[in-house]
Structure 1
Amino acid sequence: MNRFERMRGRLRRAYESGREAVRAGRARPPDVPEPARTASPSSPGPTAPPTATVVEGEPQESAHHSTASRDDADVPHALRIAAAWSWRLIVIGVVFWALMEVVSTISIVIIPLAVAMLLSALLAPAVGWLLRARLPRSLATAVVLVGGLAGVVGTLTLVVNEFIQGVPELSEKSSQGLRQIQDWLRTGPLHLSDNQLDRYLDEAQQWVNNNTERFTSGALSTATTLAEVLTGALLVLFATFFFLRDGSMIWRFLVRLLPVAARWKVDDAGRAAWSTLVAYVRATVLVAFIDAVGIGIFLVIFDVPFAFPLAALVFLGAFIPIVGATLSGGVAVLVALVDSGAVTALIILGAVIGVQQLEGNVLQPLIMGRAVAIHPLAVIIGLTAGVVLAGITGALVAVPLIAVLNTAIRRLSARSVPDTPPDAVVVAAQSP
């Protein structure tokens, strides 16, 4: 039994000695050679004596300090970096795709909330003025919301009434314009014959007949979404009211859900982003108003029909940066072409281009300033993505969202310490 115990002790000491040797080999830098060892009872085995000549053999391969195994060390460094970036980008893409799926599923909620946020940024200064006049918060919010709603409904009523009154005259002049186009096609440089014109007209009529079912199905699908539109409008009204009345309270509640160490920076970034959104919406409304007034004056001077509806269309289109006012101005040019001829249409076209140049080069940099300045490439990419994802609503929301994210990310990445939140409790240590 004693012999067995001694044998077990020797094996135990040999195992411990081997583990210590492995640990020492791992801790030693790769370029430091391992010193020669002498045999001992605790670490048996053949070792080189101090006077022996060691023949240099093949150097032992060592793994790179950034790899987990020798197999990874055999992979080129550039390929390892590319693989690391690839799987991370795949994870980000999957998360983004899942987020887009969730947003598309609940778009009936997300889109009204986004519109309510824009309306809140537009109406928040008016609520602040009434609050400084000592009105209760709920009453001030209700007065501003009802006044804004009345203004929108009144404007739409005027536009629709003027459009209805001018449709017969415009239809008659459109027919005259079509006949003039036909005469120009016969006598102009194309010299089309009556048979060619009839054939082209028959092809156009056949195309309309073939696509009637598509147009009808689109109208039916639009009718089926009427309930969703009404639901979204009610949600916009309720959300705008509570954003205006309890916006600060809602924001403080959301900030308190975060870890304590992140609350100050998130609160600072959120308030800066809200200030950017308010400035952007106010500047956009002012620029849109100037565009509508400038183009509307030319429409009135040259007696183009539907001057007020077309100016209102320019005002609404200006909320889509770069392309909105241009497209709505193009509608005014077409109406001028049908009603007053090519010369008036060219003059209106020059007015639209001039107003757009004034807006892009003078008004926007002067009114919006550097705080909400966004590169045109970012605006175009955001508009395209917004149209693809959510249509017209996406085009309206895309650029404000980019401006808000730009400000928030800049503030979050800043190294400066933000100001103390107004609801923070500062505990001072008692002096001994």
Structure 2
Amino acid sequence: MGRFEQVRANIRRAYEAGRAQVRAKREANDQLDEPTPPAPAQVQVPPSVSHSSTSSFDDSFVSRPLRIGAAWGWRFIVLAVVLWGLLRVVGLLTVVIIPLVIALLLAALLGPAVGRLRKARVHGSLATAIVLIGGIAAVVGTLTLVVNAFIDGLPKLTQNASEGLTKIQDWLKRGPLHLTDLQLSKAVDQLQELVSANQDTLTTGVIRTASTALEILSGMFLVIFALFFFMRDGRQIWKFSLNFVPGPAREPLDRAGVAAWRSLTSYVRATVLVAFIDAVGIGIALWVLNVPLALPLAALVFLTAFIPIIGATLSGAVAVLVALVTNDVVTALLVLAAVIAVQQIEGHLLQPLIMGRAVAIHPLAVIVSIAGGLVLGGIVGALISVPLIAILNTGVRVLAQSPPPEVEDSIEAAEATP
């Protein structure tokens, strides 16, 4: 019986194991046969009507040319408002800004001399003082020479001018106009009435001239004071100014500033040399033709030559007028020929040769900048407009180059750079 019970137990276990396997397979088949629940319906979103250049749905209904024109338009309006604000600020601070600009131009002219003295191991303050005193002495000496020459030639100029006016009156009577004495006297009377009618205006102009003289005197002190520190601490001032711009922009702006300063230095030195050659050429012509006040007129040519194109024309016209009044028509024509010859040599030989490609500016840009400077700042505006265009031209070219070029020995070359 024991063996029989054991066999029966084995059979029962085998039977139950088989039933368990069948039950497991059936449950697995039932799970596979069950239908899967449907996926949730996807909400279909209609595509938005837009363009890559738009930022909202409404912008897509505006044509692309109109969007671009509007974008340029409001940006131009913002720039115009900013420029107008800057001009207003500059207009309010003219008494301060103009001396600083003149000091900057003089620093560009005298800065290399300070750099040479520093390389010769002269202390910075001492080198700056030596160059500053030497520059002031040169200016004062030149002005003294010119004033003395003017005072010495004034009696002869007065006599020749009187004789010249008499010749002009004779020409008006006997020339193609055939004016009578009555007509000439009426013209003189009308001139006197014009002066009398504008006497108040002239008096006000004298008072304004006196106040302008005080402003010029105070501006001269500011020029000297600023010039000293521009030449001594120019590089430190420039580095301090770079702290007001973002960090990534400092190095490119530093390169552009150094290049622009070199361009300004070249421009000022070349302008001085060209002005000196113009003054010498016209002065020699006036001296050979025996025109009075040759030296003061040559000094006037030198001063006005700093205004390109217009300055030489104005000074040449004054020289021709003086020759016409003090000498005769033939002498005036010869002076005019000499002025035209000097201007042609300057425009076609001296400017391209001395200025060089570093500060080359198209003549149209020069004329437009001078006209804008005259409108905005008068004579001083015309004087500083071309150097401003020169440094902007160089600075923008350096910033636009990719990769930016290396400026060789920028620190040594810009020790006096503001």
TM-score category of the 2 structures, normalised to the smaller one: 0.7 to 0.9
Q: Is 2:244 aligned against 1:223?
A: no
| Residues 46-72 of structure 1: per-residue CA shift (max 9 Å, x gap) | xxxxxxxxxxxxxxxx34443345544
**Counterpart code for 2:285:** F
Q: CA deviation at 1:239?
A: 0.8
**Counterpart code for 1:167:** L
**Aligned 8 A contact 2:398 2:405 in 1:** no
**Aligned 8 A contact 1:264 1:421 in 2:** no
Q: Is 2:241 aligned against 1:254?
A: yes
1:243 alignment counterpart: 230
Sequence identity, in percent? 58
**TM-score normalised by structure 2 residue count:** 0.84
1:76 alignment counterpart: 63
Distance of 2:78 and 2:207 partners within structure 1: 40
Q: Is 2:46 aligned against 1:25?
A: yes
**Counterpart code for 1:228:** E
1:15-414 alignment runs, 5 A limit? 21=43, 24-26=45-47, 62-69=49-56, 71-414=58-401
**Aligned 8 A contact 2:146 2:299 in 1:** yes
**Counterpart code for 2:322:** V
Distance of 1:352 and 1:409 partners within structure 2: 36
Provide the alpha-carbon RMSD of the alignment: 2.1
Distance 1:65 1:261, change over 3 A: closer
Q: CA deviation at 1:418?
A: 4.4
**Aligned 8 A contact 2:164 2:327 in 1:** no
**TM-score normalised by structure 1 residue count:** 0.82
User: Comparing 232-241 with 180-189, which one deviates more in the overlay?
Assistant: 180-189
- 1:25 partner SS: coil
Distance 1:126 1:191, change over 3 A: same
User: Comparing 216-225 with 293-302, which one deviates more in the overlay?
Assistant: 216-225
Distance of 2:200 and 2:324 partners within structure 1: 31
Distance 1:365 1:213, change over 3 A: same
User: Comparing 216-225 with 116-125, which one deviates more in the overlay?
Assistant: 216-225
Distance of 2:407 and 2:294 partners within structure 1: 52
Distance of 1:410 and 1:382 partners within structure 2: 18
Q: CA deviation at 1:308?
A: 0.8
**Aligned 8 A contact 1:267 1:421 in 2:** no
Q: CA deviation at 1:21?
A: 3.6
| Residues 91-140 of structure 1: per-residue CA shift (max 9 Å, x gap) | 11001000111111111111111000000000011112222222111111
Gaps of 5+ in 2: 1-39, 412-418
**Aligned 8 A contact 1:264 1:418 in 2:** no
1:8 alignment counterpart: none
**Counterpart code for 2:115:** G
1:55 alignment counterpart: none
Distance of 1:227 and 1:344 partners within structure 2: 40
**Counterpart code for 2:168:** I
Distance 1:183 1:227, change over 3 A: closer
Q: CA deviation at 1:225?
A: 2.9
**Counterpart code for 2:46:** G
Q: Which runs of 4+ in 1 moved over 4 A?
A: 68-71, 420-424
2:28 alignment counterpart: none
Q: CA deviation at 1:200?
A: 1.8
Alignment coverage as a number of residue pairs: 372
Distance of 1:203 and 1:404 partners within structure 2: 50
Distance of 1:340 and 1:251 partners within structure 2: 54
